[in-house]
Structure 1
């Protein structure tokens, strides 16, 4: 499974692709859309436009004082060139993007660059430059840095990877984010650097630095059972309304630990989609929670790939 579509909605706004120079399309109201900027190769002419050049056109063409959301698509040679120049350009334009509330960095599909090959860098200068930023999304963890910091306004943080290193998990957990309501981490597999452990998650699961957290997603993990076992007794769960443990290698052992842990009947939603649960266990979870009004998603059941007597289980998104 791979990510099948570019973002269509971001920050509750429809995504609008900023057009090429040859396109005469009328631009929408600056505040009405999330603007997507992606480096484009013009196949007919062979000309290329780098992302920073597109950004300069964007700054000249749009009333940037009213722009609320930006989606950064592909940049040139993303498999070896980092997002650092893009972050620097966005930081330099902070005075012109005075209404900016949301940034997604790396909206690419596999044909642009495989998720585990997207090269990022230190993305925290965006948070320093935009104190009003409410939503930050990042796709890809190669070279990604997230030095611990405090940000008063961030309400949503999403890090999508095929493998999230344990050091990055610890750095994110060490941040003070008093307004954060939604945290989403795709933990991934060791094949692509995802070597985090439940111990790395402890600062997040304690919830000490995340007093406003109401939605937690710890998903796409090759060790999903261990993640779920840690979540089952985590203090932060008692104040969540949504819990996402989907996209990983969850088996009946992990689900048994979840059911044996703290009550989950206060949740509005439990997402376990894409899993390796038996049909019987899936029914047990639904029967235990659905009567209490919990929306339980146990769709997309997987079967292990058995080779030479060994049952192999894979995350939803890897390379």
Structure 2
């Protein structure tokens, strides 16, 4: 399973669970603090645990924060607004470190998280798991360098929200596009502002991942102007077949890339070898080769 374990590392720091029953020790800036309750069977209230975290840890020194299970009725944006002056050093935020035993990916409810980038204007990393009812602004966030949206089905409106954001220093963008059955209705056309290179002038990594349209994405990337300035590219976790790989190889050169991640794919072994020969100096990830089920069902790594 894609999410079988909680995060152990986040943005370069080890993750530490906030334990409400004991006073934490050590430097609050040396860890990524995870504030969570334990899923549907845990009767504690996330709001209470989060407020206790604020009252127990010297949060003025906290730079990395991970939230875990939080029921949608808990106003996460409201809690962050309330805590803004208590977290002046926050730079890296992960919303929703929830594993499959706690909740299905497609069931994780969100809201408009655009205000989070205004509440914490110095935020450099925002990673979000779950996309039901998700929106993202549009907002201006000059400090943001990394944006990652993990979803079993990313709505087209969220992709358009991202494209409408003013993110002049965004270097790393990962979008898990997912499948239509779980709300993933974004198309190549929705990604046009990114693919054209018009948005995000600092972008150096692009991930269009977990997509049932991986071949279409590959065909679009074959001629997309943004690719020429990327250092790494990912079509991982999706349904990439020989048709998409053929388009990539026939398109613009990819030899300038340092990394190309295609893991969890449906490529034939001869095509895998062709890619290796064509890109001998690129660090390739061709792991996790899949076979279609029943001969013609191609599946992404994470959907429901």
Range of TM-score over shorter length: over 0.9
Please state if 1:35 is matched with 2:33.
yes
1:86 Cα offset (Å):
1.6
Corresponding position of 1:223: 213
Please state if 1:299 is matched with 2:287.
yes
- Name the CA distance, whole Å, in 1 between partners of 2:118 and 2:260: 33
- Name the CA distance, whole Å, in 1 between partners of 2:134 and 2:96: 12
- Name the CA distance, whole Å, in 1 between partners of 2:26 and 2:49: 17
The CA deviation string for residues 178-202 of structure 1, in whole angstroms up to 9 with x for no partner, is 0101000000000100011110111
For the residue of structure 1 that corresponds to 2:208, the secondary structure is strand
Q: Is the 8 A contact 2:156 2:190 kept in 1?
A: yes
Counterpart pick for 2:59 among 56, 61, 64: 64
1:207 Cα offset (Å):
2.2
Moved over 3 A (4+): 40-43
The CA deviation string for residues 185-226 of structure 1, in whole angstroms up to 9 with x for no partner, is 000000100011110111111222201111111010011000
- Name the CA distance, whole Å, in 2 between partners of 1:4 and 1:110: 6
- Name the CA distance, whole Å, in 1 between partners of 2:140 and 2:26: 35
- Name the CA distance, whole Å, in 1 between partners of 2:32 and 2:26: 10
- Name the CA distance, whole Å, in 2 between partners of 1:157 and 1:222: 21
Please state if 1:254 is matched with 2:262.
no
Task: Compute the TM-score of the two structures, normalised by the length of structure 2.
Answer: 0.96
Corresponding position of 1:116: 106
The CA deviation string for residues 255-294 of structure 1, in whole angstroms up to 9 with x for no partner, is 000001110000000000000000000110011002xx21
Please state if 1:205 is matched with 2:205.
no
Q: Is the 8 A contact 1:82 1:120 kept in 2?
A: no
Q: Is the 8 A contact 1:41 1:49 kept in 2?
A: no
1:82 Cα offset (Å):
4.9
- Name the CA distance, whole Å, in 1 between partners of 2:73 and 2:110: 5
Please state if 1:73 is matched with 2:68.
yes
Please state if 1:269 is matched with 2:264.
no
Corresponding position of 1:127: 117
Q: Which runs of 5+ in 2 are unaligned?
A: none
1:160 Cα offset (Å):
0.1
Task: Compute the TM-score of the two structures, normalised by the length of structure 1.
Answer: 0.92
**RMSD (CA atoms):** 1.5
